Structures are given as C-alpha cells and as structure tokens.
Amino acid sequence: MNETLESNKKIAFIGPAPPFRGGISQFAFRLAQEFQRAGNEIKMFTFEHQYPELLFPGKGQTADFSQSAEIDIEKVFTPYNPASWSKVIKSIEAFAPDLTIISYFLPWFAPSYTWICKHLSSTRNICLAHNITFHEKWPGSNLLSRQFFKHCDKIVVLSEACLQDLQNTMPEDIAGKGILGFHPIYDCYGAASDDFEINPAEEPTALFFGLIKPYKGLDILIKALKQARIKIPELKLIIAGEVYGKEDKYLSLIHQLHLEDAIEAHFRYIQEHEIRNFFLRSQVCVLPYKSATQSGVIATAYEFNLPVIASRVGGLSEYVKDNVTGILVPPDNPEALAAALIRFFKEDLFSVMQRNIPSFKQQFSWQKLAEIILQA
C-alpha cells in the first residue's frame, strides 16, 4: 500500500478505460491503480460504445489488458447517445464518490460530459485534460470545451503548454481552475527497475512508436532516415503503430526513397505484451511531431531508460532534458532530425543518456500526480 497518499476516499473515473484501447485508457487505468493501492475505493465508468464504427478511423476500438480485473470497471453509457446518459448518473450516485475524475481529450465527449457533470450531486468534479487545443479541427471546439469546463471544479493539465492553452483560449473564470500536473512515467510494460538496461540490436536502430496521425510527422522521420544513412549506412528504423487513415502514403515514401531494407514497419495496433520487445531492440525513440501537448510515448520510453529525440513543440521539451536524456530538434525539419540521429549514434550518446534517465524520471511519479489531483 502507498502509505503517503491519502486513502479511504471513494473515487470515480469517467472516460476511456479497459477494454478500450489507447493512451487515454491506459493512463486512466494506471492512475486508478495508484489510488486503489493507497487504500481508496475506485470505480471506473466507461463507455458501452466509444465511437460509431463508421466514424472510427482505426481497425478496432478494444484490446486485451492483462491487469484490468484489478479495478472495478462498468460500461454504462455511450457519448453519442443522450438516452444513455442518465444511466451513468444513477450508477455514479449509487457509488457515491467523494471525487470524480473525467478524462478529456476530444470535444467529441464534451456534450455528454457536460450533461453528466451538470447533473451529478455531492461530488467534486476534476477534469483531467490531456488536450486543451486539438490536433485536428473540430467545429465549435472551444465552445464545447468551455461548456464542459464550467461544470468542473478544477482542470488538471499535464504540461505547461496545456496550461498556457487553457489561459489563452478560455475566459478567466475557467482558466483560473487550471492546475499544473504532468504525465507520469509508465511502469507497466516490463522494465524491472531503475537499474534496468536494454540490450538493443547490434546495428544502430531508431524506433517510431504509437498511433500514426499526420501531426506525428512520420514522413519527416522517413526523409531524415534517408539523409542520416549517408553517414550511417547501417542505420535502421522500426515503425510500430496503427495508421489512422491509409498507410499507402508512408509505403510510397519508403519505396520512393529506396528504404525498404532499412525500415521494419508494423502498421498495426501494438498489443500490450508486444510493447517491451520494440523498445528493447532500439537505442533511441524518435518523436518527430509537428505539434504536441505531452506524450505517453516518452513516458513509455523512459520506463526502459531509452533516450528520446523529439521535436521542440508543445510540452515535449518539458519531458526531454536536451543533451541529457535526449535531443530536441526543430519541428518539420528532416535535415535537423537527420543531424540529431547522426550525432546520437556517432557520439554514442545512448550509453550516456541511458544512465541519466533514472534520476531525471523520478520527478514524474504516479504518486505525485495522484497527490496533485487530491489536493486540487
């Protein structure tokens, strides 16, 4: 039991939870575990259906979670079916939580969340905001978010960049609810301890991991790889993640640049038990993002003490100490990214940075985030 974290509270979660896949679900579940291990009573209220299949760009919405039985999870409402919203009110009020934590990351959920929070009684509503502004354009997104935020007691964000977005886009009464948190480092994918060391492949290998959307900049990394291989011909890239949309654009670029032998591409959802393997085989994780708030990919890389090369955008620089735990580069710049890859491998920065990560990541613990939320 976590003896320093406040206990004996009843805490409800609203939003994605297992078996729904993705970083938001995984984040909420791991946070729920932290509260439960401290002696709090936890229940997660998730969706019967998250998105209509016709609108979902991926190949599936659920996955297997090895530890999901640890937490009481109830599928109770559908965000796009208002007729289902009253059910979650009845279920939550029967649980009678002291605190309700709502995971917010897309305005798609704002109407249901607004209605639910407006009708909840005798609970403190904390919004856990993964995004304030959004990578894709959503008509009326600010208005939708504002209506939801009105019914939240506090809004916990995970980076200074997100806090700045809140202050820039919301009126003062809502912006004043903002509380700065952070994205903790994952500890659930197989790294044994802070002394854990990976044993990567003999050839220099970079990893691009996670869901692939246009703003993630995979095209920039592929172009940078071509340039970097002029200096490091043996350099390899592993791509591990499902493409939202069509993978043809990336396959065409790989073919156009004659990189078929240099890239190992897994354009699919990576199951929980597979994650460890991809990080173990790499010396650096690359995030060539064109925009960002914070990243669960960095939080996963640091579990394995794996250095990171990332774009200097959004909140990413808050999680990468330049030249210590990774390298920061300007976004949308294949030349700068190629130079960083060349420097990383030519100067053997893997060995140095890997040793720096354990002490750096201690500030990003799940216990500390849980304390911030309880004190909000």
179's tokens: 């509380």
Instruction: Assess contact for 301 and 285: CB atoms under 8 A.
Output: yes
Q: What is the pTM of this model?
A: 0.91
Please check whether residues 177 and 262 belong to one and the same domain. no
Q: Which domain, by its residues, includes 281?
A: 205-362
CA distance 141 to 133: 8
Please check whether residues 71 and 127 belong to one and the same domain. yes
Q: 196 or 48: whose pLDDT is higher? A: 48
The C-alpha angle with vertex 236 and arms to 230 and 239, in degrees rounded to 5, equals 130
Please check whether residues 167 and 212 belong to one and the same domain. no
Instruction: Assess contact for 16 and 29: CB atoms under 8 A.
Output: no
Q: Is residue 190 part of a domain?
A: no
Please check whether residues 36 and 125 belong to one and the same domain. yes
Q: 25 or 53: whose pLDDT is higher? A: 25
pLDDT at residue 294 in the model: 85
Q: What is the pLDDT of residues 296-342, one digit of tens each?
A: 999 999 999 999 999 999 999 999 999 999 999 999 999 999 999 99
Band of residue 192 on the pLDDT scale cut at 50, 70, 90: very low
Q: State the alpha helices, DSSP H only, in 63-140.
A: 85-95, 110-119
Instruction: Assess contact for 231 and 343: CB atoms under 8 A.
Output: no
Looking up residue 245, the CATH number of its domain turns out to be 3.40.50.2000
User: Where is the domain boundary, 181, 216, 245?
Assistant: 181
Phi, psi for residue 212 in degrees, rounded to 5: -105, 110
**pLDDT, averaged across the chain:** 91
Please check whether residues 170 and 96 belong to one and the same domain. yes
- Work out how many domains the chain is built from and give that number: 2
Please check whether residues 88 and 56 belong to one and the same domain. yes
What residues does 45 pair with on adjacent strands? 14, 74
Q: Are strands 178-180 and 124-129 parallel, antiparallel or unpaired?
A: unpaired
